[in-house]
Amino acid sequence: MQRIELVMSVLAGISGGLIGGLWGGVVSSPWIAHLRRDNPDGWKDEKLRQLAAVTLAYGAAGATLGFLFWLGWGLVALIDVDWYLIGLLFGLLCWAGATLPVMVTLWLRLHTPATLFVVHAVEWLVACLAIGLLCAQVWERAG
């Protein structure tokens, strides 16, 4: 089996992160716009600069998770498991370890509709799963 290159894992992570950003633009933004109708004063208008910053954040998160996937060769020990299950497991672990605690603690501390936190939690779940699947696909193709 050939070893997975760090660059390919990071690029796969960036790609998965950008899928999360795309999800944010196509699904989360209309969902949030629907929530804005109830409290229009409590929201900022989305500008191109803000969209670019969010996209960069997703790309950076994807690169970081791609690097973690490359470092996390412990998942490779799951030899009798299909590549996509390893990717889903990695994505769920990343989401459960990073995004979910942040969403829950913010929800508990802020007076914001719970639906808003659900929107962002789902958006990051999609991003983490996409990152995990793309990184696992790179691993599978290298083997």
How confident is the model over 90-110, as pLDDT tens digits?
899 889 888 887 888 777 777
- The verdict on residue 1 lying in a domain is no
pTM exceeds 0.85: no
How much is the pLDDT for 1? 40
Give domain status of residue 68, yes or no.
Answer: yes
Give mean pLDDT, residues 80-86.
89
pLDDT in tens, 29-50: 888 778 777 766 666 666 778 7
Which residue segment(s) compose the domain that 118 sits in? 6-142
Please state the domain count of the chain: 1
Residue 26: inside a domain, yes or no? yes
In a domain, 120, yes or no: yes
Does residue 124 form part of some domain?
Answer: yes
Name every residue whose Cβ is closer than 8 Å to that of residue 101 and which is 6 or more positions away in sequence. none
